[in-house]
Each structure stands twice: as structure tokens, then as C-alpha cells.
Structure 1
Amino acid sequence: MDTQRRTLLAALATAPLAVQANLAPPPEVGSELPGARLLGSGRLTFLGLHVYDARLWTADEFAADRFDRHALALELQYGRTLYGRLIAERSLEEMKRQGGFSEEQGERWLASMKQTFPDVNKGDRITGVQRPGESTRIFVNGSLRGELRDAEFTRRFFGIWLAPQTSEPRLRQSLLGPALARS
């Protein structure tokens, strides 16, 4: 990604939604979800450190209370270096917040995420595309990295950010704000 786009995206992460609504989706979102628009964005910090900026891309008919039934894309642009295996482990921990699943499922999901999630550096983007009831497609800096074909995984993975049980309710509000008001 070029420096101009990174600078623009960083500035837009804190811009009013009216300004963000005019932002064009990244190429992978445009090809996977034609007509998708930015619904909301927010920043995740931990102990004051910038972890990533998140942007949620959806179609106009998106409903927050049924997020798992809509095609959507969640774009994360990292603010620091992180190891892929740690991203996978933390993702599984967050998925557990939505209720139990079998140990076998968890082990299978963790192995798939460890294989799919790369180490990231500041400025890298991971975009997850939800194909409801079907799969999660993972793009890294615009290139397809893998697809996890498991409907339950897909629902729980995007639930990390979008389910009411999220550990980051303010980020959820920033991503879903306009859609929460309609729900």
C-alpha cells in the first residue's frame, strides 16, 4: 500500500462518519463485495498502545443484530508488529466469549488460523470477508491468504468485533454505530 493511502486511512480512522462514507473500499473488498460502503471504523489500543485501526464494509441493507447473515468485510490495519500465532491464539480466546464450543473445534480453528494469519508489521492490513453460512476469506495487504470453510467459525470469528459479547464494546459501537441505531 502506498504512503498516501496509509496516511489517508490513518486520518480517516478518527474522521466523522460523513467524511468516511466517501472512502473507496480497498480492492479486495471491492471485488468480494461490489457496492460495499464503509459503515464504521475505530481504533483498538491496549495499555495506550495503538494495536490496529478497524473498518467495517457492508451493503446498505446490513442489520447489526443479524451481522452473521450478511456479507461483510472487516479490514484491520496494524499499528505495530504482532506475531501471527499470537493473533490466532487471542482470536480463539475472544471467540470463546460468545459461548462454548468443543475442544476439537477450537483446536481445528486455532490450527487453521495459525496457518492463515501471518506476522504483521506496522501498516500491514488483514481483511476478513464474511461469506455468511459458508466461509471466511482472509486477505493480507490485498492478496488472498486463505479461506476457512466453516460456517460456525465464520459467525464466531466476526463476532469477536460485532457480537454483543465482545471484549471491546466501544470498538463495536464505532464499527456498528449507524446500524445499531436501525436495529
Structure 2
Amino acid sequence: MLRAALVALALMALSARAEVPLPQAVAAKAPWQLVGSGQMQWFVFTVYDAALWQAPGAQALAIRYARSIASATLAETTIEELTRLGLPAAERWRADLQEHFPDVVEGEVIVAVRQPGLGVRFYHQGRATGAIRDSAFADAFFGIWLDPRTRAPELRAALLGEAGR
């Protein structure tokens, strides 16, 4: 009984930690509602916590990094995932991604806001860093986490609020 209670407390702490709030610069622009949140893990290491937010006509993905990652690595990983999901021309966005994705250190947050037909606007620590105005890019970028073919199906389920159903 005690063991079950400890496991339940640990799971509650994990899910609470995974919720990533939106920075004021984003939160003030719409009535956002949390859809779901979870963690991206690689083996036993947490890479980041993520939260998916919804507002009328928009989605926001907030990611709080658990370790330092260079801008070039973030861009490269994004290009690899976009290509894996069937967007072979993803390479054309490498320079934009490197410009819009800064180097991150543990605890920092990057937010991507998607508006249908308008593309994606990126924020780092609440400051706008740029936008890619291409709806194909926006759909594919959010697909990294939300497409059924994602590398992280458990995270996808958590972001979509389906975990534990």
C-alpha cells in the first residue's frame, strides 16, 4: 500500500513538472487552454518537458529544456525529423531554424505558436525570435510531436491529453 502511494506521488510530481506555462508575451494574446503535457526522455535522461496549448485559431507548443543544447543541434534534429516524416525539402529551412532557435541551457523555454495559414512564430524565454511563414512547415513541425508516426508516441498521447485514458 505504501509503495503504491509513493508511486502515485511520483507520477503526480512528474506530470506537474511536465506542464510548461506560456510566457506572458504569448499568454496575453489569446485565451489559451492546456491540452496536455509530458516529458521527452532518451533512455533514462529527461531531454525536455513539453506542453500543448490551444486557443481559438492557434496552437502553442512550449518546451522547457532539461539540458543545454546548441542551436545547430536543435536545427539539425528538426530537419531530420521533418525529413523522416516525409518533408524531403526540409533542408531549405535550416538557416531559418538556426536563426530562430538559440542555444538553450537547462530550464530555458522555447515556444512555437502555429496559426493555420500563417506558419509558426518562435519565442525563446518569452522574446519573439522569428517566424517561418509556411503552412506546410507549420503542419510538419507540429507533426514532429503530434503525427501518429512520431518517434515519441507516449509523449504524443500526453500532449493530446490521451495519456491514461
TM-score by length of 1: 0.75
- Please tell me whether residue 53 in structure 1 is matched to residue 54 in structure 2: no
RMSD: 2.5
Deviations 1:30-76 (A, max 9, x none): 134x11111100011112111110011113x7xxxxxxxx5100000
Structure 2 unaligned segments of length 5 or more: list them.
1-11
CA distance in structure 1 between the partners assigned to 2:71 and 2:14 by the alignment:
23
Moved over 4 A (4+): none
Match of 1:5 in 2: none
Partner of 1:85: 72
| Equivalent residue number for residue 30 of structure 1 | 27
TM-aligned CA deviation for residue 15 of structure 1: 3.2
Conservation of the 8 A alpha-carbon contact between 1:39 and 1:178: no
CA distance in 2, matches of 1:26, 1:121: 17
- TM-score normalised by length of structure 2: 0.83
SS at match of 1:139: strand
Q: Distance in 2 between matches of 1:137 and 1:167?
A: 23
Alpha-carbon distance change, 30 to 170 in structure 1, aligned in 2, over 3 angstroms: same
> What is the alpha-carbon distance in structure 1 between the residues aligned to residue 61 and residue 148 of structure 2?
17
Contact 1:13–1:53 (Cα < 8 Å) also in 2: no
The match for 2:148 among 143, 149, 164 is: 164
Identity of aligned residues (%): 39
Report the secondary structure of 1:76's partner residue.
strand
Aligned to 1:177, the other structure's residue is in SS state coil
Residue type at the aligned position of 1:166: T
> Would you say how many aligned residue pairs link Structure 1 and Structure 2?
153
How far is 1:107 from its partner?
A: 2.4
Residue 137 of structure 2 is aligned to residue 153 of structure 1: yes
Counterpart selection for 2:113 from 126, 129, 138: 129
Contact 2:47–2:65 (Cα < 8 Å) also in 1? yes
Superposed displacement of residue 28, structure 1? 2.8
Distance of 1:72 and 1:93 partners within structure 2: 23
Q: Distance in 2 between matches of 1:100 and 1:122?
A: 30
Q: 2:100 aligns with which of 103, 109, 116?
A: 116
Could you list the runs of 5+ residues in structure 1 that have no partner in the other structure? 1-10, 62-69
- How far apart in 1 are the matches of 2:149 and 2:107? 28
